[in-house]
Amino acid sequence: MTADRSPVLSVRDLSVALPPGGDRAHAVHRISLAIHPGQTLCVVGESGSGKSVMATTVMGLLAKELQPSGGEIVLQGESLLGASPARLRALRGRTMGMVFQEPMTALNPVMTCGDQVDELLSTHTDWPAGQRRAEILRIFERVRLPDPERMLRSYPHQLSGGQRQRIVIAMAVVLKPALIICDEPTTALDVTTQKEILRLIADLQREQGSAVLFITHDMGVVAEIADEVLVMNQGEAVESGPCEQVLRRPRAEYTRQLLSAVPGMTPPAAKPEFTGPVLLSGQGVGKTYGSRDWMGRHRATAALQNAQVAVHAGETVGIVGESGSGKSTFARCLIRLIDPSEGQIHWGGQEVATLPESRLRPLRNQVQVVFQDPNRSLNPRRTVGQSMVEGAMNFGQSRAEAEALAAELMAQVRLPVEALQRYPSQFSGGQRQRLAIARALACRPQVLVADEAVSALDVSVQAQILNLLREIQGRLGLGLLFITHDLRVAAQLCDRVVVMHQGHIVEEGPTAQLYAHPQQDYTRRLLDAAPAALPPLQAV
Amino acid sequence: MTSLASKLLANSAIRFGAGVLGLLIGVALLAPWLGTVDPAAMDAGHINTPSGTVGAFALLDGSSVAHTFWMGSDNFGRDIYSRVLYGTRVSLLVGLFTAVAALLVGGTLGMLAGYFRTLDAVLMRFMDGLMAIPAILLAIALVAALGAQLWTVVVAIAVPEIPRVTRLVRSLVLSLREEPFVEAARALATPTPVILWRHILPNAMAPLIVQGTFIAASAVLTEAILSFLGLGLPADIPTWGNIMAEGRVQFSQYPGNVLYPALFLVPTVLAVNLLGDGLRDVLDPKFAKRGAR
């Protein structure tokens, strides 16, 4: 921690040029940083900020189209920018350990986990096979993988996401590197797993005295682990300094915005019970997927069992749960995108669970949906205008009426009317999500189902979309069913929250009450695992 | 759209393929005006002459017209140059029609199989059966059964290609129907035929076009093979295949009858294949980085 010790990694005035014709000249522009042994530097920024390009430059894994155009990178006194590929290969694994976002793609799917770690060890050391094996078992134990002997023989697809990430971390730290580079290592994981992985990285760092360069978009994660913070935007350093200072007394306006966009865990004050009509409800909804094993015997997998929910006019109901909890299956049954195996579903007063598609179609305007991935929720081959009038025209409006409505909706989601002529690829992720909301509203629905509608967006954009949803709901008195894995987002928006786990509803209640006094163990664990609340901002 | 055109032209494979193909189309269209005579006309006085010989064709009114055999004449005294140029028409038409027919039928079946799960099992088992028969045997059997005409040859070559197109389209539809924009269209109550036409087909078009060019290239070859085996178009319609077939008996003495059509056939197939490769590189982003740059 002392400043007189020389830094493990220092980056000075690093610039990486983008190929000509991009939206800016540099992916990374004059970035400087230094990390001392035993310290964690978090580089935080939204997508496109250049944080990942910076990390890959340090690793020497930059794509061919990108070239460092200035500055220097020094790792333990050795300059990396001029180093030969062979030298960089020798350094990676030995002196720099790397942990990537998606453990499935970071591991070779046709090699056992043991072999992959062994390959690394035999490349960098001259240990005999027995010693390598003992070392692998030791490190598997250390990263708290259950049953290390079995892990040795397992293929990546046989493990859970969290276990795979532990293998990747084991590979990163097994040679006790001086620097560990983590590029969004927990973004693809569930919150409860994220918590454990963050703790593991911190423990290993303390043990080995390594320096950690940690890339993330999540301010909550920063608050949890960072000693130093570097905030990046558009390839430039916005602000850097000790964690405490950056989070509580940010100097730059951009940091301030970023921090204020992070949703907190405090739910809104409880509203009175909603007594309006029930617009969307499900009772005893279940979905079973059937498959046959090699003997031809029928095997059923229940993705969803006995789930119920009711959404009143003007009410926002959240369904929260981790991946595999059945929350999306439930939502898709409720909008009849998949057929439920059992249970009743009501749209307004109409029971629709078993209606055939032809009888369902005239009712579909009542319930509309917004999906997670803004890049895929609009047909790339059709203009925004064409997508926008489709719903209204399906419900009997003339083209002129539908176009007038589309123009009006564009104003509601704060996009220019000219945008109707353009194709989805010409919009940013946040804008596309606005378009998807506008398209859903064009049918004049009574209930809007948002399936992870803000999960793929940057925090600042996420905050805007949440505000937009809140505003639209207030104006139109819609029922909103909001599916999310993020408890912080649910806290911001939802009047009532349903917690799901392994296909079952675990707990349900008004948001404030459920967050303050969770009744079930699982809910409590989920709440504990949510990234730390940010310290309050201090006035400048 | 202009940006797509410039992207296409930036690809050297596309430039070359399209250029050669354009030249051949020009030759096919302008065949009567490129110094040719009636490809069936015979000059009994000049049989199996070497290239450059000047001969004369007797006209119906008793007069005769002088003609230079640029590529020599065959064993009936017909002008090989004229026959090869007119043969270009048939070869290109067979390539085009076969590709269009295979894409239309295979595309429709593939969309149905991919979107309607109940139809899938039946349709695809039938396609598996069709695929189990060697393509050229199936084509020979079909031509033998239907008789040799332009359309029967096209059908005979297209039918064995249909299962491959169906499989391709089916797999594209299987992944496209799970796309959020297709699900959103279902939620918007868009009727199923409209979903297929408006949301699924346009997004499956790029691989289809590429597959079409490969079918066209192999159809040109297959037509030549069928003609060569005597199962293609009747001898009075010159095609590259039947010109070569007629020349093969005296290939060692008079190779021109085989070589000149081959000289056209090879670059045609090469050009269409290159065009297909180039289109795949440009239209399919997954291949873009491995392109010929």
* Interface contact flag, B190 A371, Cβ < 8 Å: no
Tell which wins on pLDDT, B214 or B76. Answer: B214
Asked if A364 and B189 come within 8 Å (Cβ–Cβ), the reply is yes
Query: What does the pLDDT read at residue B284?
Result: 67
pLDDT-based confidence at residue B66 (cuts at 50, 70, 90):
confident
Report the Cα B46 to chain-centroid distance in Å: 34
A48, A58, A14: which is closest to A232 by C-alpha? A48
Of B102 and A301, the structure prediction assigns the larger pLDDT to B102
User: What pLDDT does residue B8 have?
Assistant: 83
- A 307-346: CB under 8 A from B: 335, 337
Beta carbons of B181 and A379 less than 8 Å apart? yes
**Can you tell me the mean pLDDT for B123-135?**
90
Question: In this structure, what token pair is assigned to residue A507?
Answer: 């707990």
Is the minimum CB–CB distance between A397 and chain B shorter than 8 Å?
no
Residues of B in contact with A361 (CB under 8 A): 189, 191
* % of chain A surpassing 70 pLDDT: 97
* Predicted confidence band of residue A437 (pLDDT cuts 50, 70, 90): very high
**Average pLDDT over all residues of chain B:** 86
Q: How many C-beta atoms surround the C-beta of residue B127 within 10 A?
A: 21
Compute the distance between CA of residue A263 and CA of residue A467 in angstroms, rounded to an integer.
12
Burial class (CB in 10 A: 0-12, 13-18, 19+), A400: exposed
Residue B1 scores a pLDDT above 70: no
Q: Determine the Cα–Cα distance for residues A304 and A286; give it in Å rounded to an integer.
A: 5
Angle between the N-to-C axes of helices B2-10 and B12-29, in degrees from 0 to 180, rounded to the nearest 10: 100
Q: Count CB-CB contacts under 10 A for residue A218.
A: 17
Looking at residue B154, its pLDDT comes to 92
Nearest-by-Cβ selection for B188 from A373, A380, A443:
A443
Stretch 236-265 of chain A: residues touching chain B, C-beta under 8 Å: none
Residues A145, A146, A152, A157: what is their CA dihedral angle, to the nearest 10 degrees?
Answer: -80
Q: d(Cα A350, Cα A353) in Å, to the nearest integer?
A: 9
Predicted complex ipTM = 0.80
Q: Which of A337, A361, A439 sits opposite B183 (nearest CB)?
A: A337
- Check CB contact under 8 Å for A369 and B203: no
Residue B290 has pLDDT above 50, yes or no: no
Angstrom distance (rounded) from CA B200 to CA B178: 10
* Cα–Cα separations (whole angstroms), residue A25 to A428, B158, B182, B189: 19, 51, 37, 45
pLDDT at B289 over 70: no
How far apart, in whole angstroms, are the C-alpha atoms of residue A368 and residue A364? 7
Query: B147-196 pLDDT, tens per residue?
Result: 888 888 899 999 999 999 999 999 999 999 989 999 999 999 999 999 99
CA A123/CA A89 separation, integer angstroms: 10
* Greater pLDDT, A97 or B61: A97
Are B189 and A394 a contacting pair at CB < 8 A? yes
Closest approach of chain B CAs to the CA of A335, in angstroms?
A: 7
How high is the pLDDT of residue A44? Answer: 92
Task: Compute the count of residue pairs across chains A and B with CB atoms less than 8 Å apart.
Answer: 63
Distance CA B32, CA B10 (A): 34
For residues B98 and B104, what is the distance between their CA atoms, to the nearest angstrom?
10
Length of chain B: 293
- The answer, yes or no, to whether residue B3 has pLDDT greater than 90, is no
Sign of CA dihedral A64, A70, A73, A74: positive
> Among partner residues A361, A379, A439, which is closest to B199 by beta-carbon distance?
A379
Interface subset of B 199-228, CB within 8 angstroms of A: 199, 202-203
Residues 6+ apart with CB under 8 A from B33: none
Q: Which amino acid is at B28?
A: A
In this complex, do A369 and B184 lie within 8 Å of one another by their Cβ atoms?
yes
A380 and B203 within 8 Å at the Cβ level: the answer is: yes
Residues whose CB falls within 8 Å of the CB of residue A48, separated by 6 or more in sequence, listed in order: A234
What average pLDDT does the segment A453-475 reach?
89
Check if B284 contacts A (Cβ < 8 Å): no
Chain A residue numbers with beta carbons less than 8 Å from the beta carbon of B186 are 337
- pLDDT band of residue A237 (cuts 50, 70, 90) is very high
If one compares B4 and A117, the residue with the highest pLDDT of the two is: A117
Are residues B190 and A436, on separate chains, in Cβ contact within 8 Å? Answer: no
pLDDT of residue B286: 53
Sequence-ordered list of residues with C-beta below 8 angstroms from that of A518, at least 6 positions apart, any chain: A507, A524, A527
Tokens 């429709």 belong to B108
- Is the separation of the CB atoms in A263 and A236 below 8 Å? no
H runs (alpha helix) in chain B:
2-10, 12-29, 80-115, 117-131, 135-146, 150-176, 180-187, 192-194, 201-228, 240-247, 256-283, 285-288
Say what the pLDDT of residue A539 is: 55
Judge whether residue B277 has pLDDT over 50.
Answer: yes
Q: SS3 of A498, please?
A: strand
Is B187–A335 a contact, with Cβ atoms under 8 angstroms apart? Answer: yes
Cα–Cα–Cα angle for B88, B90, B94, rounded to 5 degrees: 120
Buried b (16+ CB within 10 A) or exposed e, A487-496: bbbbbbbbbb
Coil, helix or strand for B54? strand
- Nearest-by-Cβ selection for B189 from A337, A365, A440: A365
Name the average pLDDT for chain A.
89
Contacting residues for B248 by C-beta, under 8 A, at least 6 apart: B228, B257, B258
pLDDT in tens, A319-370: 999 888 889 999 999 999 999 999 999 998 899 998 998 999 999 999 999 9
Angular region, A147: left φ>0, alpha ψ -120 to 50, beta rest: left
A87 inside 8 A of chain B by CB: no
b (16+ CB within 10 A) / e for A498-517: bbbbebbbbbbbbbbebbee
Looking up tokens 């290939």 gives B251
Three-state secondary-structure class, residue A368: strand
Closest residue by Cα to residue A38 from A77, A10, A5: A5
The pTM of this model reads 0.82
Q: Once rounded to an integer, what is the mean pLDDT over residues A172-189?
A: 89
Helix (H) or strand (E) holding A161: helix A161-173
- Predicted confidence at residue B252, as pLDDT, reads 85
The 10s digit of each residue's pLDDT in A104-115 is 888 999 999 999
Q: How buried is A295 (Cβ within 10 angstroms: 0-12 exposed, 13-18 middle, 19+ buried)? A: exposed
In sign, the C-alpha dihedral spanning A507, A509, A512, A513 is negative
* pLDDT value of residue A193: 85
pLDDT digits (tens, 9 = 90+) for A12-69: 999 998 887 767 888 899 999 999 999 999 999 888 888 988 998 998 888 877 888 8
Please report, rounded to a whole number, the percentage of residues in chain B having pLDDT higher than 70. Answer: 96
Tell me the pLDDT band of A538, cut-offs 50, 70 and 90. low
Q: Which residues of B are less than 8 Å from A338 in CB distance?
A: none
- A360 CA to chain B: closest CA distance, Å? 8
Contact B203 A382 (CB under 8 A): no
